[in-house]
Chain A
Amino acid sequence: QKEVEQNSGPLSVPEGAIASLNCTYSDRGSQSFFWYRQYSGKSPELIMFIYSNGDKEDGRFTAQLNKASQYVSLLIRDSQPSDSATYLCAPDMRFGAGTRLTVKP
């Protein structure tokens, strides 16, 4: 069974703070790692993807990948209330349960 684990949350941060979202996966053969955001009742939206060890930055978002530890994370800088959503980690498009993030004004 290929497992993807995320803290379900809710994770609550104040506006302007850094939100840190973590994900571990069991399949060592995973090649591509995606982060999606899903608002209630909507389809997931891609935030970013990473496939090499290290950091990848895109605007306020930074994805970090450590294949040896089977760990991938997403940092959101200067969090905004509009970032409040469920964040889904998806190694090779297999999804974790998601972490619910709430950014308080």
Chain B
Amino acid sequence: GAVVSQHPSRVICKSGTSVKIECRSLDFQATTMFWYRQFPKKSLMLMATSNEGSKATYEQGVEKDKFLINHASLTLSTLTVTSAHPEDSSFYICSASGGGANTEAFFGQGTRLTVV
């Protein structure tokens, strides 16, 4: 399958700081990217869907100003957790799709964020 690279794999930050997570499609053009967070032993919770060059569509209950998503190119999307707090500690994972709703999406390796 296609390769999606997510960076960093782990990050620890102080409360109140911002953290940027990158998601790159290495061998295909990702027209759509999905951002999820996952709590231990829980399901993936879709946070937002972004299409290249457009504003992200956020799921109900996800704060747009807290979780900033940029999808400026066909190979890169970023998620910035602004003014992070301990409750934002989680596993964040992206997936990328090359061709719209009926096209398979491939996952990055995920980022373990710990806010202290």
Contact = CB atoms under 8 A, between A and B. Distances in A.
A89 to B, nearest CB: 10
Interface in B3-38: 34, 36
Interface in A64-101: 88, 92-98
A46 B42 contact: no
Interface residues of B, number: 23
B34 A93 contact: yes
Contacts of A43: 93, 107-110
A93 B109 contact: no
Nearest to A36: B107
Interface residues of A, number: 19
A97 B38 CA distance: 10
Nearest to B105: A93
Interface string A1-44: 10000000000000000000000000000011010100000011
A47 B4 CA distance: 16
Secondary structure call for the A interface: loop
Contacts, number: 45
A49 B104 CA distance: 7
B49 A93 contact: yes
A51 interface: yes
B109 A94 contact: no
A49 B49 CA distance: 19
A31 B44 contact: no
Contacts of B45: 95
B74 interface: no
A32 B102 contact: yes
B33 to A, nearest CB: 10
Given A93-B34, A98-B43, 16 more contacts: A31-B101, A32-B102, A32-B103, A34-B104, A36-B107, A43-B108, A43-B109, A46-B106, A49-B104, A94-B46, A95-B36, A95-B43, A95-B44, A95-B46, A96-B43, A97-B43
11 contacts: A31-B101, A32-B101, A44-B44, A49-B102, A51-B102, A88-B43, A88-B44, A93-B34, A93-B95, A95-B44, A96-B43
